[in-house]
Amino acid sequence: MGTLTVRNVDDGQLANLAKTAKLNKRSVSAEVRELIAESDRKRQVEEVLANIKRRRERHPIQLARGEDAVSLIRAVRDEE
């Protein structure tokens, strides 16, 4: 595991972080680790969504004339 040292943190922000950590029943260090993990999870979700968007743009769904998403969902549902 790596070690992180953060310098010149605003006193008010550090106090708010300490309050948040206390509310979450964590140490300040554990709260920072959770913030880093949450940021990483968000980044991963954003990457997945960007990949989905790119794939949808490259391979758009082409519906038959008069067909819509509802009719497709019903057809799949009725197959089961």
| pLDDT at residue number 79 | 83
pLDDT of residue 20: 98
> What's the pTM value of the predicted model, to 2 decimals?
0.69
**Amino acid in the structure at residue 70:** V
CA-based radius of gyration for the chain:
23
Max CA pair span of the chain:
63
Instruction: Give pLDDT tens digits for 2-55.
Output: 999 999 999 999 999 999 999 999 999 999 999 999 999 999 999 999 999 999
* Per-residue pLDDT at 14: 97
SS3 (DSSP) at 1 = coil
More confident residue, 67 or 33: 33
- The torsion angles phi and psi of 62, rounded to 5 degrees, stand at -110, 115
CA angle 73, 70, 51 (to 5 degrees): 70
Amino acid type, 5: T
What are the structure tokens assigned to 51, written together? Answer: 């990949």
